[in-house]
Structure formats: structure tokens, C-alpha cells
Structure 1
């Protein structure tokens, strides 16, 4: 069976760099950071006070302006923007021929709800004497939804009533690129005619930051300006900067896109994955999973290393990840291919990171430039990848995108410029 060519025909987003093409392009081209002071919760007792947060989402969870949880708000905003920019009638395709594949955060316990429950349990004498009424008081029907990782699928379904295959990926940092790859394969193989794919994350929370600060995995160097904390491949990098938001795409075959009168924005041509479960955080000593994901993506696309004109790196700004990814890029593609690390601009969007950087790649390919990696003041001499702090005005035909999650979940995808 012949494989279909797969394209992105629309996108919608809610990100630290903005919610529309022009704003994100300007940030990428000019090196304008999306890092800002956290207003979602009181950071007074924390080491970290900044993150990459969409302006529209930087309010406390209990704020009266917020009708939805942050992750649902981001998903709804992204879907509204996606459908506003394209004429898409699910009925014309057939709801059973539309799928949905998303990268999402793992469910977490509401710490404040737990604290309130503990206070209630201590209001009467006797251990567990009031456990049942306390649990009944603090249980909320919304908890069924909040602890269900498929809730994002329901939110998308309210906008596009798909009835085809659907799944969520919980692969942390590589979750949304894994989801995009799953949708790519489904359309390419003809299992669906269209798919909503991407990622959503809302992990800039007090609970998440407590854990990250306890293991010293996030950047907290007080000598640096907050916008300079995320510095992939730089000698002074000390950890990643958390971020959040949502980026969603409409995938369809090139033929269907053109037949419907929609403009293809970028073509997806290859996808590769690999796993190394030898350590919960550290990459394989030989960067094996990273090299294998990139090699498989090249093979899946029918391309050679020399065909790749740009790498959009995972580039977390952590010591080990950047070192291993640089080694893997050089081993598979050589030391000359230009590399950009967008997390320097907006931080690490975790489950939405791959989707955000896919959108950045789309904008870069369409607008003919390679974004600079800001905050790269002194490149780590052990990182030999060709990373530059300067934006390069250069048309590129093929871009390889990496997303490498904790626990060795690696994904690479190759995009092709259209036109």
C-alpha cells in the first residue's frame, strides 16, 4: 500500500512567546524571551520565581477570571486558534476518519486539597474518627476529570468531534513529539484522514517546583538575569527552566489538504523513536537512544545525514542532556549542521515541549531563518555541536527535531519546507 504525504494545515497555540504566528516569529528572530515572574502562586519561599508562562495563563488557579484549570484553558485556547485560522468541517471528512493524539502531563495530587483534608481530620478526638465525612467534604466530582490523563482528549472533542483512534502520551519531555509521530503514522498509513496532534502542559505549580528544587534540577543562579537562566550548551548552564502552554496541529494528507483548499504549512517526512531504561534521569553513556532515534527518523524519511539543514535540539540546559545530545548530533549528522535550542527563549514546556519546538521549526522553515540560541555566551568546550547565538537568515529544506525524555524515551522527527 502506498504511503500518503502528511502535512500540517493549521495550528493553534497558547505559549510563552505568544499565541499567533507573527508574535512567535518575532521572538524567534529577535531572541525575545518569554520568561516572566510567576503569578500563579506565591513564590516567596521558593528559590525559583520565574518560568515560561503564557501571559493569558499567569494567574492564580483560584482566580475568578479562570473558569477552567490551566491545562484545560490552554487546550481550549489552542483549539480556538486552530479552528479560527482554517476552514475545517469534520463532517466533510467523516468523524470516524479523524483521530487525536496528545502529549500530556501525568496526573498530580492537589496539595492544598490534601492539606485542607488533614486539618479537618485533626478537628475531633480519635484517630480517623471523622475520616469518612472529611473525605466526603473534600471529594469533588472534578477530581474524576482532573486525575484522568485523557481529559485533554475530551476538551479537543468539544471542538472537533472525532471518532477515530485516540491516545495520550505521558512520556514527559518527549510526550508531544511522540504524539505527533503517532498521528503522522496514522495519516501516512491511511488509518485516519486527519488528526489533531500536539501537547499541553501546566506544570508551573508549587507542587512541581518543590520536587524540582529538592533535586537541584532547575536553574536558580541568582547572579543571572531571569531571562538568562535557560542557556543550552553554555558552559554556565545549571539546569532547565520550567514552562507551560499548549500547541496543537491539524494533520492531514497533502492530497486532502489541497482538495479542501487549505494551505499546507509544513510536511512531516520521517519519525524515529528509541528507549533506554537503564536510568531514570541519565541518558545512556553512549547516547545510544538519541543516536538511534535520529538514525531511524532519517531512514523513515529516506534521507541521508547531508540532507538535514538544521537541527532543532531538545537542548534542556542541563549538564548531561546537552552533553549527550551534542555527542549524538555530531555522531549522526556531523559537527557542521546548524543547531538551534529554542528552550533558551521559552523554557522547558515538558509534555508540550516537542509540539512547541515543532511549531518553531515550522515558522523557521516557512520564514527562511535559523533562530539563534540566546544566552550562549561561552559554549561548553565538550559540546561540539554547531550551536550559534545569532539568527541565521538561511533557507532550509529539511529540519530534524529531537525530544528526549527522562527514562530514555527518545523521539526524532524530520520536517520538510513546502514551496
Structure 2
């Protein structure tokens, strides 16, 4: 692909709000996780909630879309002047020439969970519950489109953890085809009962804080996040914060909830991303791993990275700091990759006690400083949906 400028980016996670807060948190080795205390959930485990989210009020014009997921999206759009940057792009290109392409996993399902608890004697859901504007998978793209005053193509990708990485590829294809001039991409996923109880039932919600690449790892800690990036055509675009150099996607379909044990689909996504970027493996300076801290996922990704890049490239997972933000993870980690490039910082993975001796790639247990020109960011979802992004310096 022809590289695309990423002119603006922002994110909000359990680590804080905005680029500066995340850069500082990564440098300090901060962790945003805490023991699970979400609503009335009684489960052993750790979560990464966004501070102050419950107090966020939407503008009156958007009040009909109120739900936790949209409160999170709204709060994310207010960081780092992102909404203002999109408004400038809208003026430059026209509202109909700016796309909104987002990833999510559960969207506003928490509203449905609350509505179900309030159903009437006949089983009917309450009259103030509006599925289409809250829980519907497409709802978050519609909400962001309205919030930003955009009229271009809009859709949501929901392929589990790869969702908000895949939309970068969608944006690149739309721009290359001449259908749009700019695209808001990213992902939003908020805490809800379904993911907490669901991952617990799959025995993937770790009772301890998640420990990627650790010999004793036993599952994920669940976080929530919103991450956004603005991609624009080269001509007339603002000075970029980074560049999208390549996108690789694959679908190995090995198993509904387990990766291919040798990481076949993951390796293919990374190979395609490198080829798309026109780069050789030694040119990757840092890999932000999918790194969920489940035994199978870390082992499969370790094999895939070794196959494609060898054992020497510095790698780490940032999920020990943010938790696994599910459908938002790809967008979050892409923006963290941009921070790594800007700051010359390869963040060490948190919570590592004893490295798994069966995993062989160069996993960072502490921060490393150095020039970072190219970052590979991995996102691998349920059902074998894999996406890798190559990001470059501005």
C-alpha cells in the first residue's frame, strides 16, 4: 500500500486520558488494573475501568444514544483536540468525504443487560430501552458520525480482538479507491456483564492480575477503552503524528476460541503487513504483541513472531497495564505504537514474575529506550481473525 499520514490520534484507557497521560504512564510503568468491582459482579479477577466514566453527560442532541459505550466514545473524542481536528478535516474535504470506521465487541450491550433486569411481568423490555441507538453493533459508528457531523461511509467491524485494527485496512482501501479523502478509525469497547461472566465461563478471566509471557499466566484482565486516529490523503493533510505503512489480515479459522497452536494465521498476517509496507523483518524495531496472558495465545504468538521476525526484535504486551480492551484493543495498541515511536520508548510488559522458559522471543520485562522507526502491532481475535499493522515515524 501507499503509506498514509496519521494526522491525529488519541485514546482513553484505565491508564488515563490522552497521549501525554499514556506516555507518562508507560514511562513510569504504571498499571491501571484493579480487583473486579464492576456493578454487582462477584468474580475473582482484575479489570481496567476508565475513571469518571459514569459521570459523563452527553450533549442534549445526543441524549437518545446514552449508554456506557457512547459515554466512553464521547470522552475519547474530547482528548488531544481530536474532535477539532476532525472538524478541520470536514471543512477541508467535505462531510461526505470523511468516513467513520470503528471496531467494537459488545457495543452498548450493558444497556440491554440493565433493560432485561427491568422487564415487565409479561417479559417485555421497558419502553425507554432503545436497542438500535445503544446496543446495536452499528450504533457506535452512527453515534460518532453524528457527534462529529460527518456524512461519509460509516460501519463497524466486530471480529473480536482484531476489530479496531482491521478498520485501518478498510480506511486505506477506501482512500486508495478514491471513495473518501479521510477516515476516523479506531475502536470503543466498555465493561459489561456479558464479557466478565462470559470470559469467566470460558476459564479465561484470570483470578490474578494478567501476566503476559509469565510461566504462571492463566488468563486475561478485562479493560475498557476508546481509541481514535484520523487518516488523511497526503495532499493537504496536516503534519502527521505517524504513518500507516502496511496492513496484514488473515483468517485461519482453526477454532472458535483457540488460536492455531503454531500461530499459522498470526504469522501470515505479520508477513502480509511487512510485504504491504515494503519492509524486511530486521527493519521492525518493536512489536506490540497481542499478548493476552492466556497460555495458548501467548505460546502461539511467540511461535509466529519467531517464525516471521526471529528471536531478537524487542517485544512486549501492554495489556498488563490497560487490560484486554477486546474490540478496542487494536486501536489502543496502534496509538500506543505511535507513542513508542514518538517517545523512543519500548514499554516493558508488566506483572512478569517468572518468564515462561518455553517462550523464546525477546520479551521486554522493563522499559527500553532507543530509536523506534517501525512498530508492528498485532491483534488476533476469536475464530482466527488476525490483523497486523506496521506503523512508521512521521
TM-score (norm 1): 0.86
Cα distance 1:150–1:309, how it changes in 2: closer, same or farther (>3 A)? same
String of CA shifts for 1:188-209, please: whole Å, max 9, x gaps: 443321000000001x223322
Report if aligned partners of 1:6, 1:188 keep a CA contact under 8 Å in 2: no
> Separation in 2 of the partners of 1:316 and 1:156?
28
Residue 414 of structure 1: how far off its partner (Å): 0.3
State the SS of the aligned residue for 1:51.
Answer: strand
Residue 353 of structure 1: how far off its partner (Å): 0.4
> Separation in 1 of the partners of 2:89 and 2:100?
16
The equivalent residue for 1:271 is 247
> Separation in 2 of the partners of 1:158 and 1:353?
23
The equivalent residue for 2:44 is 47
> Separation in 2 of the partners of 1:328 and 1:32?
28
Report if aligned partners of 1:104, 1:351 keep a CA contact under 8 Å in 2: yes
Cα distance 1:115–1:74, how it changes in 2: closer, same or farther (>3 A)? closer
- Please give the residue correspondences for 1:370-389 in structure 2 after superposition, counting only pairs within 5 Å: 370-389=346-365
Does the alignment pair 1:357 with 2:333?
Answer: yes
- Please give the residue correspondences for 1:332-347 in structure 2 after superposition, counting only pairs within 5 Å: 332-347=308-323
> Separation in 1 of the partners of 2:99 and 2:154?
5
Which stretch shifts more, 147-156 or 229-238? 147-156
Cα distance 1:217–1:326, how it changes in 2: closer, same or farther (>3 A)? same
State the SS of the aligned residue for 1:351.
Answer: helix
Aligned length: 384
Residue 241 of structure 1: how far off its partner (Å): 0.3
State the SS of the aligned residue for 2:17.
Answer: coil
Residue from 232, 244, 258 that aligns with 2:212:
232
Aligned-residue Cα RMSD (Å) equals 2.2
Residue from 265, 276, 279 that aligns with 1:303:
279
The equivalent residue for 1:116 is 118
State the SS of the aligned residue for 2:359.
Answer: coil
The equivalent residue for 1:165 is 153
Report if aligned partners of 1:98, 1:162 keep a CA contact under 8 Å in 2: yes
State the SS of the aligned residue for 2:315.
Answer: strand
State the SS of the aligned residue for 1:55.
Answer: coil
> Separation in 2 of the partners of 1:391 and 1:352?
24
Residue from 17, 20, 23 that aligns with 2:18:
20
State the SS of the aligned residue for 1:158.
Answer: helix
Residue 266 of structure 1: how far off its partner (Å): 0.5
Cα distance 1:4–1:330, how it changes in 2: closer, same or farther (>3 A)? closer
The equivalent residue for 1:330 is 306
> Separation in 2 of the partners of 1:378 and 1:40?
30
Residue 160 of structure 1: how far off its partner (Å): 2.6
Report if aligned partners of 2:11, 2:335 keep a CA contact under 8 Å in 1: no
- Please give the residue correspondences for 1:169-208 in structure 2 after superposition, counting only pairs within 5 Å: 169-202=157-190, 204-208=191-195
Does the alignment pair 1:398 with 2:356?
Answer: no
> Separation in 2 of the partners of 1:169 and 1:331?
28
Residue 175 of structure 1: how far off its partner (Å): 0.5
Report if aligned partners of 1:369, 1:394 keep a CA contact under 8 Å in 2: yes
Does the alignment pair 1:244 with 2:220?
Answer: no
Cα distance 1:348–1:59, how it changes in 2: closer, same or farther (>3 A)? farther
- Please give the residue correspondences for 1:52-67 in structure 2 after superposition, counting only pairs within 5 Å: 52-57=48-53
Residue 60 of structure 1: how far off its partner (Å): 11
> Separation in 2 of the partners of 1:4 and 1:141?
45
Cα distance 1:145–1:83, how it changes in 2: closer, same or farther (>3 A)? closer
Residue 111 of structure 1: how far off its partner (Å): 3.4
Structure 1 segments unaligned to the other structure (5+ residues)? 62-66, 122-130, 222-228
> Separation in 2 of the partners of 1:35 and 1:367?
23
Larger C-alpha radius of gyration, 1 or 2? 1
The equivalent residue for 1:286 is 262
Structure 2 segments unaligned to the other structure (5+ residues)? 58-62
State the SS of the aligned residue for 2:143.
Answer: helix
The equivalent residue for 1:101 is 101
> Separation in 2 of the partners of 1:278 and 1:80?
40
Cα distance 1:183–1:320, how it changes in 2: closer, same or farther (>3 A)? same
> Separation in 2 of the partners of 1:90 and 1:324?
42
Does the alignment pair 1:219 with 2:206?
Answer: yes
Report if aligned partners of 2:29, 2:350 keep a CA contact under 8 Å in 1: yes
Residue 59 of structure 1: how far off its partner (Å): 6.8
